[in-house]
Structure 1
């Protein structure tokens, strides 16, 4: 929860009174799985990340918001080890998995074999894959070819492939953006249930403010290469956000604040 560009972000405590994030940090002894200090990334003369500091801890569910071109995916790729920063100190847990917007299943491998890509489970491999598929509701699809899966099913296979490695850090790069509205709702519930069961640190990159509020217990906004907001969703809101009537005012206030930071008028859609 350490972002140097915003060290005194206000959140609400259990009594509904403002409290500093640092007060919550004092009681947070979870192991960090990500620790960035002064991380910068440039493409030519263009600065994408401007010496950002970031800590993600075990069990956190963090949403990263930002306009197109703000550096969200670049940051995720650095976390995933798919890209390198130009400078800064980076410490990232080695056991990490990524789910992209595209499922990236190999068309010539059945679902269970796609789950096992890059792993070594020996004689128990198929049983491990089938268990992972059962966790995402696809026990009956283990032998299916990718072309016979719906978009939501293919993305669930990709999620099973990520989780079968028991990652300390799960990175989600707009994984639901290409899905229809009903499938997205189901995927939100599934991801939340799997996170509650396995407790990795999760970072989801999204353009969707509603998605961020629904899933995350912490929300970051990336703007001009820096974190302009680092908001811990208050414990009271986390408990009540599923009860829409009780949480509506708090949710609307948070949504308005995030949209304003992103430069979007209330009620408009982020492009």
Structure 2
């Protein structure tokens, strides 16, 4: 079975986009790689390898190795197994600086993601910027997930950016761009009903991740989980979201990548 490419992006800061991509990969029902494709840099390696025992590894090193070996083989050498106990989920760390990002062939890297068999790629593209975003990773994705905080400023920012995302990255159909809501601290932010958010934006909401700072810290600061980590609200809700996102990506992938019809021996 062919894997899918799902790109995650935010439009106002990065309200949980990296944490969301990591959390969903952690509970993903199939083999998966979370790839840090934010041109401003990745942070996950410091979360899971704080002492640097794995050395320099990531997308930049992958493309360097690809000069002397097949791209798939180079990628295998750059993956870090996520410590979720399944051995099915991996991290491809991001660049260490914007200068490294500028030198990358993002289209070639995206082609690798699309060619992977039985492995889904969840690409953390960070904050949407018309120039700095890894354009190919968004435009070639089977599904683009806009991660938005459930607060007025973030929702307004996404509403203003929807048309730009669609136009600049080729996500023209209604099924190609969906929304993942991240609920903020209820003590400091007014929340809006999830159903109303989808209607206001004119986009499908694939689910919501709850305010769970204890569990979120395991993906954003340093991985030192407690006994209740696997049953935390973040991962419990994340499993439902992962199923929904995965199903929608598979459906759209089947439509996007279906072979053209052949009539009288000719492709039409």
Q: Structure 1 length as normaliser, TM-score? A: 0.35
Under a length normalisation based on structure 2, what TM-score does the superposition of the two structures give? 0.35
